[in-house]
Amino acid sequence: MSTTFFVAGDWLAEHIDDPEIQVLDARMAPAGQEHLRNMAEEYRAGHIPGAVFFDIEALSDHTTSLPHMMPRPETFAVAMRELGVSSDKHLVVYDEGNLFSAPRAWWMLRAFGVQNVSILAGGLAEWQRDEYPLVAGDVSLPEGEFEVKFDDTLIKRLPEVLLASHEKTAQLVDARPAARFNAEADEPRPGLKRGHIPGALNVPWTDLVIKGQLKTTDELQAVFRRQGVDLTQPIIASCGSGVTAAVVMLALATLGVQETKLYDGSWSEWGARNDLPIEPAQ
């Protein structure tokens, strides 16, 4: 474990009844499995005591056809208050234990102004391995006090990414698996082309992760260096739908990299268009 952005299971177990700590279950189904799994039911079947369900899908912007887009700040604030989440508390998020979706919840909360957000190292899997308890059912909390301070500069949109690709004003780091990046495998979402944004560098999110947490800072630096990423220059992270790009954002934050943004539309937007350049050329 390489960063203060994580807390260990034994620490959480010790502080589980602390009123200044709130736990958020941020499990979500990977692309292609959304219709095979009901994450709300999985949450109700067993979750960490006191954890509310941070449903990334439900909390996303549903005025767009693109998946998992950031919601409007006021919409997010209302949702958090209704969940009983308060922005001035220490929020601890977790996922299944693969570090797939907890970084997206971490990034969303930070973008909306929460100062103190941590990820449970090893997630639910490690919590269970350590034989800490789970509880079933829903968690109902009093209304929270959630004040949004949205930093919209953290998000890049398609015109800005197109400019960065063309003018080389920022490095585009794509977190998808190499086979998808290299147009050797279909996308899990139908209707998307194969390939990547011209000039993008591939840092598969799984290369940054081990046992539900980030690799050491030395290992992270080595991964980025091997893939040609200059950590002193601006970076825009993307993936399939903006979820695992947050793993890249978490790794970069751990390394103290400052100029980092996330392309929220990611390949779900770029790969669906017929008027944008793609590598390898189609």
Write out the catalytic residue numbers.
239
User: Which burial class, exposed, middle or buried, applies to 208 when counting CB atoms under 10 A from its CB (0-12, 13-18, 19+)?
Assistant: buried
User: Which burial class, exposed, middle or buried, applies to 198 when counting CB atoms under 10 A from its CB (0-12, 13-18, 19+)?
Assistant: middle
Q: Give all strands of the β-sheet with 235-238 in edge-to-edge order.
A: 155-156, 260-263, 235-238, 171-174, 201-202
With beta carbons less than 8 A apart as the criterion, state whether 198 and 279 touch. Answer: yes
First-to-last alpha carbon distance for the chain, in angstroms, is: 41
**Each residue of 111-141: b (16+ CB within 10 Å) or e?**
bbebeebbbbbbbbebbbeeebeeeeeebee
3-state SS assignment for residue 211 = coil
Looking at residue 264, its amino acid is D
With beta carbons less than 8 A apart as the criterion, state whether 252 and 168 touch. Answer: no
CA proximity to 20, closest of 78, 93, 85: 85
Looking at residue 66, its amino acid is L
